[in-house]
Structure 1
Amino acid sequence: MLTIVRVLLTLIFLAVAGFLGYDMANYYLYSPWTRDARVRADVATVAPDISGWVDDIRVRDNQFVHKGDVLFLIDQERFRLALADAEATLAARHAQYLMLLEQYERRSKLTPGYSVTVETLDNARRQSETAAANYQQAIASRDTAALNLKRTEVRASVNGFITNLNLAKGTYASQGKPVMALIDSDSYRVGAYFEETKIPHIRPGASAEIYLMDGSPALQGTVSGISMGITDQDNKDGPELLSSVNPSFTWVRLAQRIPVRIHITHVPPGVLISAGMTCTVVIKEGAAPAIGRGLKKIMAAIFGTPSS
């Protein structure tokens, strides 16, 4: 009798271990979680739209700024003089246009061929039209000069954090050359790479928990999108425009990783997130079997306990 009990206990133990091992393997292979994830954010490079000497710097490295805040100033003296010159030219062109327009209007009231020749009238009309075009050109030059003066104040394009500040007062800033980076604080997200075997259990809108490597409390997020394609490493043309296919073995099949974007909805107080951080993502609404479900079925069959 004792031998039968030992055999039954051994069989039960092996069955429980087998089902538990199956559940753990099933969870590891198919449950939607991954350790291959990074915190990402949009980065706006800050570069002046005009060239000039840096007159003042209003920010420091890693400072938070709001959209529209002045980051630094470029010397404005040359641009003020250029605007004054453009406004003076505009006034002269306007006066010339009015004078030629009045001359044309006076001559147009005379009888062509008697009091004034047709050629003289045509010349007066063309001169007034040319003056009008010159006046419009002067307006555009004045507006360009005013815009250049306005662009001496380099402002933040988004809310975010200044980083990699590579600028000092008195240096010469060149047009279009980046001098600092601005990380958009409203664009923080997580880019997670899930194995293709786990993708069927992920849906847009599903809740997600994000665990940073520093052990801080979990961040909350939602799945905002699943990538519709990745690069096929075998899809390359050879020298003769034939497909270059790498040899593969049927018993070795590595699951491809598909990018999934996670929108961060809540960051616990005191938790610092930085673009580039490594994290683990767990999809809470995945449909993969949970660990222990097979074990619960065994317990229900043996002891009659309700299964869930």
Structure 2
Amino acid sequence: MEKKKTNKKFLIILIVLVLAGATYGTYKYMHSLAHETTDDAQVEKNMSPIIPRVSGYISKVYVKDNDFVKKGDTLFVIDDKDYQVRVEEAEAALAAAEGGYEVAKADIGSASAGVSVSEANIQSTKGNIEAAKVRLWRATNDYERYKNLYDNRSITKQQFEQAEAAKREAEAQLNVLKQAEAAGRSQRSISVSRSAVSSKQTEVAKANIDKAKAALEAAKLNLSYTIVTAPVNGQISTVDIQPGQLVQPGQSVFYIINNEQAWVVANFKETQLNKMREGQKVSIMADAYPDTEFEGIITSFSPATGSRFSLLPPDNATGNFVKTVQRLPVRINLTESNDKEKVKLLRPGMNVEVDVHLK
């Protein structure tokens, strides 16, 4: 009985397939020793939220969806009538505070003058008191001498009474001057107290001026916030505002995407991180532009796996445990060697494939 002839074509094809499979497997194995890859990666860019600082109704919008803007360009304007009124009120309050300060300064000047006058009167009265004491001394001596003469019947009663009257007049004049000195001292105390009060009032008036100035600056600052400008160069997202719409402080109305800088966040499995280090070169292929290869380097690793930052992080201590391979976000910056125009084409959220060169 004759043996069946072996199909040489089938044998050749089988050998070729085996060799091709072995070659591809060897290549992938060798490649895996020096590379780590993942397709769980997305493009990221800085997205600056546009948030008004003051509330009000929008009067005009200067941008529309997907517009390109430069830093300082006006995006929209909030009706500023209320804020203009507040500036005028603050200016009036400042003028009133300055007027109060001038009045307080005039009061302290008047009080200081009163102190000076009182001090001069006291000094003058002191001199008069000394003179009155001398006159009293002389009148007392005359009275004693005339009294002895009158007792000896050497002078008349009229002469004695004149000496006695002169003594009493000198005593009365001295008492009047002492009372005047006491009144002068009291007036000086009042003037000093008034001066102290006026000084405090001046300090309060000056503080009121500073307060009014601060209020005016705050009013002007809020007025300037009614014109909302672009904080950075970039491209506008969807603009969901229109004239007449009320906006509130802290309300995010739209975004400006900075197209100048881009980076990639790649989520690698924890089993891939053993040989990955910062500074390693990375090849990046964007799904949207398969003909362009971007170059990057690893700059940092996340401090925790992505699941730990989720709204409800898993708690393996509850329920049945099923081991799941975790992924760790890795930041990859694009290098300066990339074409800047092509980098601008990348959009946040685009899918990319990354290949980390371990060696």
TM-score (norm 1): 0.75
The equivalent of 1:229 in structure 2 is 304
The equivalent of 1:206 in structure 2 is 280
Which stretches in structure 2 are left out of the alignment for 5+ residues? 1-13, 120-184
The equivalent of 2:54 in structure 1 is 50
**Identity, % of aligned positions:** 28
- CA distance change for structure 1 residues 221 and 20 in 2, over 3 Å: closer, same or farther? closer
Q: What amino acid sits opposite 1:228 in the alignment? A: P
Which runs of at least 4 in structure 1 moved beyond 6 Å after TM superposition? Answer: 13-16, 232-235
The equivalent of 1:144 in structure 2 is 218
Counterpart CA distance in 2 for 1:19 and 1:270 is: 35
Counterpart CA distance in 2 for 1:90 and 1:186 is: 47
1:82-231 paired onto structure 2 within 5 Å: 82-108=86-112, 110=115, 111=119, 113-115=186-188, 117=190, 118-214=192-288, 215-230=290-305, 231=307
Note the C-alpha offset of 1:38. 0.5
The secondary structure found in structure 1 opposite 2:271 is coil
- CA distance change for structure 1 residues 235 and 217 in 2, over 3 Å: closer, same or farther? closer
Does the 8 Å contact 1:104/1:121 carry over to 2? yes
- CA distance change for structure 1 residues 228 and 27 in 2, over 3 Å: closer, same or farther? farther
- CA distance change for structure 1 residues 129 and 203 in 2, over 3 Å: closer, same or farther? same
- CA distance change for structure 1 residues 279 and 57 in 2, over 3 Å: closer, same or farther? same
The secondary structure found in structure 2 opposite 1:72 is strand
TM-score (norm 2): 0.65
The secondary structure found in structure 2 opposite 1:229 is coil
Note the C-alpha offset of 1:267. 4.0
The equivalent of 2:349 in structure 1 is 276
The secondary structure found in structure 1 opposite 2:187 is coil
Note the C-alpha offset of 1:22. 4.9
Does the 8 Å contact 2:64/2:238 carry over to 1? no
Does the 8 Å contact 2:260/2:340 carry over to 1? no
Larger deviation: 129-138 or 193-202? 193-202
Counterpart CA distance in 1 for 2:19 and 2:214 is: 86
The secondary structure found in structure 2 opposite 1:100 is helix
Counterpart CA distance in 1 for 2:71 and 2:340 is: 24
Among 252, 257, 260, which residue is 2:327 paired with? 257
Greater helix content: 2
Does the 8 Å contact 2:34/2:358 carry over to 1? no
Structure number, greater radius of gyration? 2
Counterpart CA distance in 1 for 2:354 and 2:333 is: 12
Does the 8 Å contact 1:190/1:261 carry over to 2? yes
String of CA shifts for 1:88-145, please: whole Å, max 9, x gaps: 2212211211220232244245258434614323322232222122111111110011
C-alpha RMSD of matched pairs (Å): 3.1
Does the 8 Å contact 2:264/2:332 carry over to 1? yes
Counterpart CA distance in 2 for 1:181 and 1:245 is: 42
Does the 8 Å contact 1:89/1:138 carry over to 2? yes
Note the C-alpha offset of 1:36. 0.7
- CA distance change for structure 1 residues 170 and 16 in 2, over 3 Å: closer, same or farther? closer
The equivalent of 1:64 in structure 2 is 68
Q: What amino acid sits opposite 1:273 in the alignment? A: L
- CA distance change for structure 1 residues 55 and 176 in 2, over 3 Å: closer, same or farther? same
